[in-house]
A and B are shown apart, each in its own frame.
Chain A
Amino acid sequence: MVKKWFGQGCGFGRKNHNGRCGLKACSGVPLSAKRTCGRTKVCSITGDRKHCARLAAMGLYPGNEIELVSAPDGENCLVRVHGGTISIDRDTLDHIVVTD
């Protein structure tokens, strides 16, 4: 039964309100390895559950598009998401995988 809900390729198998696929499976690189600014999409976020939940509330969750204001290049960086600018530390950047 549960398999039937989630088993399809595109996560929840339906389009959400903004018409894009909520959680399409994607492969990519850790955000900390990004060398350039610009738009990218979050593939997955791992690590402590509570921390992931806080990130989600701030707009950082799989499937969402973000814009790098500064290139991380192994350090902390600034990201624009849902109209706000968020600073993210190095360890968290390692745990966020984005499209290459």
Chain B
Amino acid sequence: MTNPIQSYTFALAGNPNAGKTTLFNHLTGARQHVGNYPGITVDRKEGYLNDNGRKITIVDLPGTYSLTAYSAEELVARDFLVNEKPEVVINIVDASNLERNLYLTTQFLELGVPLVIALNMVDVAKTRGITVQAEKLEEILGVPVVPIVARSGLGTRALLDAACRIAAEGNAWQPLDISYGDDLDATILRLVEVITTSRFLTARYPARFTAIKYLENDEQILDRGRDESPAIAAELEADVARVSQHLQKTLNVFPEAIIADHRYGYLKAVLRDGVITHAFDVDRLYTSDKIDKVVTNRLLGPLIMIGILLGLYQFTFSWSEIPVVWMESFFGWLGATVENLLAEGPLRSLLVSGIIDGVGGVLGFVPLILFMFFGIAVLEDSGYLARVAYMMDRVFRSFGLHGSSVMPFIVSGGIAGGCAVPGVMATRTLRSPKERMATLLTVPFMNCGAKLPVLALLIGAFFADHRALMMFLFTMLAWLVALCAAKFLRLTVLRGESTPFVMELPPYRFPTLRGLLIHTWERTWQYIKKAGTVILAISILLWAMMTYPGLPDAEQQNYTEQRQQVMAAYPETMDEQGGVEAKHQVDAVDERAALLAAIDREESAAALRHSAAGRIGLALESLSRLAGFDWRTNIALIGGFAAKEVIVSTLGTAYSMGDVDAEESASLSKRLQRSDDWNRVVAVAALVFIMFYAPCFVTVACIAKESSWRWAAFSMTFNTIFAFGLAVLVYQVGTILGLG
């Protein structure tokens, strides 16, 4: 007889930033994004592991401070616990900040879930002079307490064993009773009596837990109560209202403040009971706070922030310069090789102009993206980004946004190189619908990873001497436009009050090399993957649009005749005539090649003009000329509606097809510099348009999903009209001033 395979579900729960996702990744081998910033995990995530023949499902819950329904994260976490009833809840607590972290633990104990406490970051606690007696804590709380270091994996074996042991025991949920003072306790007792006798909500929650949530005015539980039994709900609510009103009148507090006070009081008593010892003065400010005094200083803070951003761009551009050139020459070589190997025809054109120029144009920027993401990973993992949110809150508030809007902006590319899709989704942390809409509609203005190649290409081509500074200025411009657009929306269609912003700042931490590499790689890989799939498909589609319909036979014949005329005028046999002046002969050969190349170029340009994309580009040229864009740029900009990366690849294709150079396969940057249709003013106008016009398809679909198709359509039209107006302004003013 064989044993049936045991399968367990363990939930990971804890405060924001306690290390849940780090532990999740360690246990399941997943590569979920971990950041030193609260609220990275909004939804729950599932992972699996096989442990000694046991199949374990690990669920990573969003970080919360309590189990009362004050936010979406708390609802997700609590609903999972009561609906799915996992075999064990692994409560991760930060050992260096036990008091705050155990606050949530008290609520798990009150709910009675089978609990194992993972005492995380014992190493950090040690450096702060804090020693935690795990056995003592275990004895007082009556649940296993396992010291771990999630970053290195220390203690995770013991943690799994403890969790499996609790799961195997399969004991019923045993709620803990915490005293909230004689007076509130009396109220709770009365409520519990009513709840127990009428079996009110008892299928889901323990009676005392429901009573406490009634006192805490937990909206979800109040609603559930009203649905279950309006009469009993009314009776409980009336009792709670009486107590609540009295507390308001006499002490100017709500019951939840008194409950919080007693929970913290209970914890203080637990910790004082020999659980925790401090080697240093308890009241001293930790290094983190000392750094904050300088870094978030009203005057120094913003200066340091600007310095860090400029440094990041300088680092990115200077370190990535050589590898970017390597990549460029590699794709140039690849294109030339394929061109030599294959006979002229649609296949060669597809491979060289469509795929190598298109995808190569995007992949060529991988080193730059890699360095930028590495820099951002350092800022995020060290905890500095949370300080940026704190400092930016003041600015955001005056533009009608919220401190919680900062992270969606940064995720979307606020520093450079993010993605608006997770940015739009990150707006879920905003509680006010109007502030959320204003954020959601303005995050696509940020310089996402897809716009980065365009920025790098045009800045590199036209402002090679001031790349970091120009990058900084364009980033600032993105912020300025996004904030002004938000203000405009908040003054017109999204009028409403601002809501408060309170956030816990994570302590500064030294990023681990492993963490940095994972972050950098996961984001860079996303970029490469997109280039190899979506961008490849769009590049091929655009190539087809730029190739078909081909030139009519009559015109093709015309070019063939022209070539024949040239060849007749400069016969190849000339080479063999010998004896004539060598110089004269070389000149003649050059002349012939130049004439043939000119015909090739003319034919190629005529073919592009005649193609579907060319016709659209030409049709729009009369309008786009106002902003300085020629018809080939128009083709690229139309491609950009699908995905912004395509702009570089399409420009590459359009300029390689319409600008054949027999001598060398020049980089796009050089082709643009040489083109009569481009100069500095056009480059800035194009960048302004590309930065602010309609978001890519995926973002539009995401906006529609998070709000409505009406808002998505609004975002496309509003942004495009606005961006075009701005580009026209830049081009016209720049041209009048003669800056081109």
A interface with B by C-beta (< 8 Å): 2-3, 5-7, 11-12, 14, 16-18, 22-23, 25, 44-64, 67, 69-70, 75-76, 78, 80, 82-92
Contact = CB atoms under 8 A, between A and B. Distances in A.
A69 B243 CA distance: 36
A45 B254 CA distance: 10
A12 B184 CA distance: 9
Contacts of B389: 87
A78 B390 contact: yes
Given A57-B66, A83-B96, 8 more contacts: A5-B183, A17-B265, A22-B265, A52-B254, A62-B251, A62-B257, A78-B390, A87-B389
The 4 tightest CB contacts between A and B, nearest first, are A17-B265, A56-B260, A17-B269, A61-B257
A30 to B, nearest CB: 14
A82 B93 CA distance: 14
B358 to A, nearest CB: 45
Contacts, number: 171
Contacts of A82: 99-100, 103, 264
Contacts of A11: 251
Interface stretch (B287-295, B696-704, B715-723): B287-295
Interface stretch (B21-29, B78-86, B496-504, B576-584): B496-504
Nearest to B97: A83
Contact of A61 (B71, B253, B269): B253
A63 B268 CA distance: 15
Nearest to B288: A85
Q: Which of A2, A17, A70 has the most CB of B within 10 A?
A: A17
Contact of B289 (A22, A23, A69, A87): A69
A48 B71 CA distance: 14
A17 B266 CA distance: 6
A57 B254 contact: no
Interface in B224-255: 242-243, 246-247, 250-254
Contacts of A51: 500, 502
A44 B216 CA distance: 17
B294 to A, nearest CB: 10
A59 B505 contact: no
Interface string B270-311: 001000000000010100110011001110000000000000
A44 B253 contact: yes
Contact of B261 (A44, A45, A63): A63
A60 B103 CA distance: 13
Contacts of B183: 5-6, 12
B293 A70 contact: yes
Contacts of B242: 2
B442 interface: no
Interface residues of B, number: 63
Contact of A78 (B296, B403, B498): B296
Given A53-B216, A56-B257, A6 B251 contact: yes
A89 B507 CA distance: 19
Given A16-B181, A57-B65, A86 B502 contact: yes
Nearest to A60: B502
Contacts of B96: 83
B315 interface: no
B258 interface: yes
Contacts of A52: 254, 256-257
Interface in B319-353: none
Nearest to B282: A83
A15 to B, nearest CB: 9
B397 interface: yes
B246 A2 contact: yes
B70 A22 contact: no
Contacts of B181: 12, 14, 16, 22
B261 A64 contact: yes
A46 B262 CA distance: 20
> Max chain A CB contacts within 10 Å: which of B70, B100, B186, B257?
B257
27 contacts: A16-B261, A17-B269, A18-B268, A23-B261, A45-B257, A49-B217, A49-B254, A50-B70, A53-B68, A53-B216, A54-B65, A56-B260, A57-B66, A57-B103, A58-B100, A62-B252, A62-B257, A63-B261, A69-B289, A69-B292, A83-B100, A85-B292, A86-B503, A87-B403, A87-B502, A88-B502, A90-B394
Interface in B70-119: 70-71, 96-100, 103
Interface in B169-185: 181-183
B677 interface: no
Contact of A53 (B217, B247, B292): B217
B243 A89 contact: no
Contacts of B257: 45, 52-53, 56, 61-62
Nearest to B507: A85
Nearest to A91: B500
Given A23-B258, A52-B254, A16 B265 contact: yes
B250 A44 contact: no
Contacts of B243: 2
B39 to A, nearest CB: 13
Contacts of A83: 96-100
Contacts of A25: 251
B637 to A, nearest CB: 40
A28 to B, nearest CB: 13
Nearest to A10: B251
A79 to B, nearest CB: 9
Given A5-B183, A17-B265, A53 B256 contact: yes
